[in-house]
Amino acid sequence: MDVPTLPIRRVGIDTWRESVVFLHRECPVVRAAGFQALAKVQVQANGNTLIAVLNVVDDAAICEPRELGLSEEAFRRLGVAPGHPARIEQAEPPASIAALHRKIAGERLERGDLHAIVQDIAAARYSKIELAAFVVATNQFELDRDEVFHLTEAMIAAGQRIDWQREVGAGPVVDKHCIGGIPGNRTSMLVVPIVAAHGMLCPKTSSRAITSPAGTADTMEVLAEVELPLERLKEITRATHGCLAWGGTADLSPADDILISVERPLAIDSPGQMVASILSKKVAAGSTHLVLDIPVGPTAKVRSMPEAQRLKRLFEYVAGRLGLELDAVITDGRQPVGRGIGPVLEARDVMRVLANHPEAPQDLRQKALRLAGRMIEFDPDVRGGDGYRIARDILESGRALAKMNAIIDAQGRRTQPFTLGTLSFDVTAPAYGTVIGVDNLRLARIARLSGAPQVRGAGVDLHVKLGERVRPGQLLYRVLAQFDADLEFARRMAADGSGFSLGAADQVPREYTAAPGEVL
Amino acid sequence: MDVPTLPIRRVGIDTWRESVVFLHRECPVVRAAGFQALAKVQVQANGNTLIAVLNVVDDAAICEPRELGLSEEAFRRLGVAPGHPARIEQAEPPASIAALHRKIAGERLERGDLHAIVQDIAAARYSKIELAAFVVATNQFELDRDEVFHLTEAMIAAGQRIDWQREVGAGPVVDKHCIGGIPGNRTSMLVVPIVAAHGMLCPKTSSRAITSPAGTADTMEVLAEVELPLERLKEITRATHGCLAWGGTADLSPADDILISVERPLAIDSPGQMVASILSKKVAAGSTHLVLDIPVGPTAKVRSMPEAQRLKRLFEYVAGRLGLELDAVITDGRQPVGRGIGPVLEARDVMRVLANHPEAPQDLRQKALRLAGRMIEFDPDVRGGDGYRIARDILESGRALAKMNAIIDAQGRRTQPFTLGTLSFDVTAPAYGTVIGVDNLRLARIARLSGAPQVRGAGVDLHVKLGERVRPGQLLYRVLAQFDADLEFARRMAADGSGFSLGAADQVPREYTAAPGEVL
């Protein structure tokens, strides 16, 4: 006797990266209750297999007793048409769960173990709770540097890999990346045109925001199309040497996206996981040379110089074994970079820097020039120490702006520009004092609640930065929104704590620079 | 301006212990997309608060744009009527998440930390992935014995607690519990009537199966009602001294049920978690004296004698600090107990033992008498060593059967008896040999796939046990089912591996008894 089948129904529920299967409680073919506690079922149709969580349905309007409902994610993954017969069975635990249990028990994993785990994760065979178990078991001090290398290597192997040299036929493929956590830090949109104008290949794929108020892809999308097929990206890079596109269309390190869906809500971002996440994405995207930005500050991801140095060494070790040239730079992460937090506001700051506008935020400009300088020094024809000057010349001459316009036009200039939110409220200084703290996390959350990044024109516009003196009633920042409810959520969060601390001038925390004479 | 509200809609989806909120993608009041990556939302209505996962809906048949859909679990938890206005907000992480992060980082938790975590878990403020993080972070060697005590104490404090002395006015309240893992091990249904017939108070609340083929509540339900309100349980216990009811109606250690929903699919059941789970449930159920059954065998939960001894000492330490009298007994866990695996089959074995039936399984009878003897020795008037003889006299005289019938009548005798499954297949010996292994896990899975416990009459009926000699074609066990698909799932699992190993007589693993002269 064969296992019976049920026709597939697409159920219009978006379960956010978790495949869910819906089975009616009175299904005459398969008893839903018997499966439910097991947490996972396996669906097979047309030679494809899907691992999913089971939800039992009592409402035939959602799923009939003789149907097998699939959530949007499950439907997409199984890839067969509605009505197609499918069979459902109890899912066997993925084979790599044995290795996961060894890691939970405190053992060191071998290369083969990590490859098996990552393959199962990339194939969506892990449930959310198994992913959480992996993330916790590999947290903090749990992975040694060779395990981090093998994890990174496995994550690269589990997806596609772009070979720019073959595609575009040029020398080094340079990139820059920040470990994150600093709002407004949109240096990529400045370094890409500068470095491309210098003649180096800089095809940057970046992410959309997950829990932050804007990702580079969200901000670039204010100006141009960012969802481009790989073939278009290659054409654009051939033509302009640079691009600023969303990386989600290529299947680059897919296990990373799945792990992030658990790491973010758990607020776990341990060194090993961060290194594997970033380097797997970069190598899969075809980068050969990478400048890495590690901001340090009281509300940054990295909060002390020794911690930053440890992280830097781990990045260097793994990059070295992967054959990726890495220049890891420790930067000032005491406060947001630039003025705007949110896609339209950040795009405004970027374009002002490119246009050498008098109101361009100087901190964003300086940081971008320094990072671009480091990238330019990957050019074997550039002398060590000359990068910054070359980058500044490119910016000041207008060549960076021209290159940015070329990239925007190549990707597809947005004809209907996004506008700033029309609702707003102001947060002002309660007393005289010097700004001695600007909380990155708080301002990011306020910007997020105001609607960013989904509402492109929402966010926070800073009017004062660290070290400035303020008087009572002086505007610290303005919050912009498009919807009443968003404005209200943001207002309550800001009322709870503005993110600004005032004090005496000598209380301003000093920048965690590496050593006197160091450029950054 | 106030945060806007949406009317509640009950969505007929059973999400298995996880509250899910459904919001239409085009909801004009709250933008669903902005919430989604945050994983958790907070819903407030009528002074009640619910923490839930958000799913975005594209189908107005499931949830209209101006409605807030709640899954069955969410609807039950929020406890307001459909149409009632509710407001939805981003959920703040539960306050105890900071302590969870300290545990993940390897720190020792204090009493207050564990109480805060357990309160948040019991109030359903943890998502599945946060629960998984807690389970992994407190796994294996991660909890010291004082942490286990504080965890247990917190789990008791987070729910109701029955005070039998006050309710029924008797002396010790005795109970027995097995750590699980051995199919067919239905000794509770024998020891309760024996001990109650001796005159001791033995009001046993037990669980339904979660991932096993039968829990005591499932098997007892073959004979009598088990879903009884607390008041009825008290009446029955006053009248008969014993009961065998499902514990789910009372709110006993609710955090335990929630943690189990993650531990089971992860197959994590570490010593500290097991001790906290079992002892919190027993103390909350009002037990003062407990006999604990720790089976040891190659496919049992505990696989070596030193491991069993460590676990026993941890149980003794925590029970001691809780003021619970504990007698932990290490037993033979090399194979299933009795013949039947599945509710009707196990109820048959139990009733045969009570009726002194010639075909009653002797291993089940012996084990039950020994455990009952230990319980009877909690009676201060019984001399050490006399318990077994007293228990045997009660059983052989028919007083245990009479007591069981009294309990069944008091709880409500089932008038429509469940019958055995009408579909079956046989598994036979492939060769001559001695049975040297009977895999508990394999047989439990085959019984589960055949439909047990949801299909009461499904399961596995063993015809041969460890150490017996068999000839080719001899029946090892019969699998019973009620539905074609179930039979087919079970058949494929059994074809993949029957769970029986044959070999030479001297290869039978010896029983892990403690020491010569030890009763068990």
Output the DSSP codes for B50-85.
EEEEEEEE--TTTS-TT-EEE-HHHHHHH---TT-E
Identify the pLDDT of residue A252: 87
Q: List all residues 6 or more positions away from A299 whose beta carbon is below 8 Å from its beta carbon.
A: A334, A437, A439, A440, A441, A442
Interface of A with B in 191-210 (CB under 8 A): 210
Interface contact B107, partner A, CB < 8 A: no
Q: Cβ of B288: how many Cβ atoms within 10 Å?
A: 18
Residue of B nearest to A56 (CA): B14
* Cα distance between residue B150 and residue B116, in whole Å: 11
Task: Inform me whether the C-beta atom of residue A95 falls under 8 Å from chain B C-beta atoms.
Answer: no
**A260's tokens:** 């992030």
The pTM for the full model equals 0.88
Closest CA to B78 of B28, B124, B135: B124
Q: Is B449 on the interface with A (CB under 8 A)?
A: yes
User: How far is the first Cα of chain B from the last one, in angstroms, to the nearest whole number?
Assistant: 71
In angstroms, rounded to a whole number, what is the distance separating the alpha carbons of residues A237 and A228?
A: 12
The secondary structure of residue A287, as a DSSP letter, is -
Q: Hey, are the CB atoms on B139 and A11 less than 8 Å from each other?
A: no
Both tokens of B94, joined, read 């539960």
Q: Which residues contact A367 (CB under 8 A, 6 or more apart)?
A: A185, A187, A331, A332, A337
Rounded distance, CA B82 to CA A48, Å? 40
**B55: phi then psi, degrees, rounded to nearest 5:** -115, 140
**Element holding A308 (H helix, E strand):** helix A305-322
The one catalytic residue among B14, B144, B218, B269: B269
When CB atoms are compared, the residue of A14, A62, A211 closest to B13 is A62
Token pair of A292, please? 């890495």
Cβ–Cβ below 8 Å for B31 and A486: yes
Question: Is A488 touching B (CB cutoff 8 A)?
Answer: yes
B453: preceding bond cis by omega (within 30 degrees): yes
Which one of B61, B140, B485 has the shortest CB-CB distance to A4? B485
**Residue among A14, A54, A137 minimizing CB distance to B58:** A14
- In whole angstroms, what is the distance from residue A33 CA to residue A24 CA? 10
Q: Are B467 and B355 in contact (CB under 8 A)?
A: no
Using the beta-carbon criterion (under 8 Å), do A13 and B62 form an inter-chain contact? yes
Q: Do A62 and B484 touch (CB under 8 A)?
A: no
Contacts of B342 in chain A (CB under 8 A): none
List all residues 6 or more positions away from B418 whose beta carbon is below 8 Å from its beta carbon. Answer: B222, B343, B344, B456, B457
Q: Do B56 and A14 touch (CB under 8 A)?
A: yes
Quote the minimal CA–CA distance from B49 to chain A in Å: 17
CB A182 within 8 A of CB A171: no
Smallest CA–CA distance from B4 into chain A, residue: A485
Q: Does A72 lie at the interface with B, CB-CB under 8 angstroms? A: yes
Strand B475-481, strand B423-428: pairing = antiparallel
Cβ distance A486 to B93 less than 8 Å, yes or no, reads no
The two tokens of residue B199 are 């005159």
Residue B514 distance to chain A (closest CA, Å) = 27
Confidence at residue A39, expressed as pLDDT on a 0 to 100 scale:
63
A14–B139: do the CB atoms touch at under 8 Å?
Answer: no
B57 Cβ under 8 Å from any chain A Cβ: yes
Residue B378 sits at φ, ψ, to 5 deg, of -70, -20
Query: B127 contacts in A (CB within 8 Å)?
Result: 265
Q: With a cut of 70, list the residues of chain B below it in pLDDT.
A: 1-3, 32-39, 140-141, 170, 512-520
Q: Which residues of A touch B487 (CB under 8 A)?
A: 1
- The distance of B483 to chain A (nearest Cα, Å) reads 8
CA separation for the pair B346, A182 (Å, rounded): 62
Outline where B205-253 has alpha helix (H).
Answer: 216-220, 230-240
**CB-based contact, A38 to chain B, within 8 Å:** yes
* A33, A135, A488 member nearest B454 (Cβ): A33
Q: What is the pLDDT of residue A516?
A: 39
Q: What are the chain A neighbours of B136 within 8 Å (beta carbons)?
A: 104, 132-133, 136-137
What whole-number distance in Å separates Cα of residue B243 and Cα of residue A113?
Answer: 49
- Got the DSSP string for A11-78? --EE-SS--EEEEETT-SSS-HHHHHTT-EEEEEETTEEEEEEEEEE--TTTS-TT-EEE-HHHHHHH
Query: What whole-number distance in Å separates Cα of residue A195 and Cα of residue A276?
Result: 26
Measured distance CA(A187)–CA(A370) in Å, rounded: 10
Number of C-beta neighbours around residue B284 at 10 A = 24
| pLDDT value for B38 | 56
Nearest to B484 among A1, A268, A484 (CB): A1
Q: Do B93 and A12 touch (CB under 8 A)?
A: no
Strand-pair category, B13-14 with A48-57:
antiparallel
Per-residue model confidence as pLDDT tens for chain A (520 residues)? 456 789 999 999 988 778 899 999 888 877 766 665 556 888 999 899 999 988 889 999 999 999 999 999 899 999 999 999 999 887 878 899 999 999 988 899 999 999 999 999 998 899 888 999 999 999 866 799 999 999 999 999 999 998 887 877 768 999 999 999 999 999 999 999 999 999 999 999 888 887 889 999 999 999 999 999 888 988 999 999 999 999 877 788 899 989 988 888 888 888 999 999 999 999 999 999 999 999 999 999 999 999 999 999 999 999 999 999 999 999 999 999 999 999 999 999 999 999 999 999 999 999 999 999 999 999 999 999 999 999 999 999 999 999 999 999 999 999 887 899 999 999 999 999 999 999 999 999 999 999 999 899 999 999 999 999 999 999 999 999 999 888 998 999 999 999 999 999 999 988 865 443 344 4
Residue in chain A closest to B452 (alpha carbons) equals A34
Q: What gap in Å lies between CA B45 and CA B21, rounded to an integer?
A: 13
Q: Tell me if B30 and A485 make a contact (CB, 8 A cut-off).
A: yes
Other beta carbons within 10 angstroms of residue A490's beta carbon come to 28
DSSP annotation string for B10-52: E--EE-SS--EEEEETT-SSS-HHHHHTT-EEEEEETTEEEEE
CB contact under 8 A, A485 and B29: yes
Q: Please, are residues A483 and A371 in contact by the beta-carbon 8 Å criterion?
A: no
Min CA distance, A487 vs chain B (Å)? 9
Q: Which of residues 305-344 of B touch A (CB under 8 A)?
A: none
Whether residue A453 has a cis bond before it, omega within 30° of 0: yes
Q: Answer yes or no: do A136 and B131 touch at CB < 8 A.
A: no
CB pairs under 8 A between A and B: 191
Measured CA angle at B109 (ends B105, B113), to 5 deg: 115
Rounded CA separation B107/B101 (Å): 9
Between B343-354 and B362-376, two packed helices, what is the crossing angle to 10 degrees?
Answer: 70
Residue of B134, B176, B86, B168 lying closest to B367 (CA atoms): B176
Across chain A, which distance is largest between two alpha carbons, in Å? 82
Of the listed A120, A218, A251, A269, which one is catalytic? A269
Q: How far is CA A270 from the centre of its chain?
A: 15
pLDDT at B187: 97
Q: Is A64 exposed, middle or buried (0-12, 13-18, 19+ CB in 10 A)?
A: middle
A251 annotated active-site: no
Q: What stretch of H or E contains A481? A: strand A475-481
Nearest to A15 among B31, B55, B451 (CB): B55
**Residues of chain A found within 8 Å of residue B489, distances taken between Cβ atoms:** 3, 89-90
Say whether residue B263 is in contact with chain A using an 8 A CB cutoff: no
Q: Is A55 in contact with B14 (Cβ distance < 8 A)?
A: yes
Three-state DSSP string of B86-140 = EEEEECCCCCCHHHHHHHHCCCCCCHHHHHHHHHHHHCCCCCHHHHHHHHHHCCH
**Closest Cα in chain B to A213:** B34
Instruction: Tell me the nearest-neighbour CA distance from B37 into chain A, angstroms.
Output: 6
Contact A392, A369 (CB under 8 A): yes
Q: Are strands A6-10 and A68-70 parallel, antiparallel or unpaired?
A: parallel
Q: How far is B142 from chain A (nearest CA, A)?
A: 10
Torsion of CA B119, B124, B128, B133, to 10 degrees: -10
Asked if B51 reaches chain A (Cβ–Cβ under 8 Å), the answer is: no
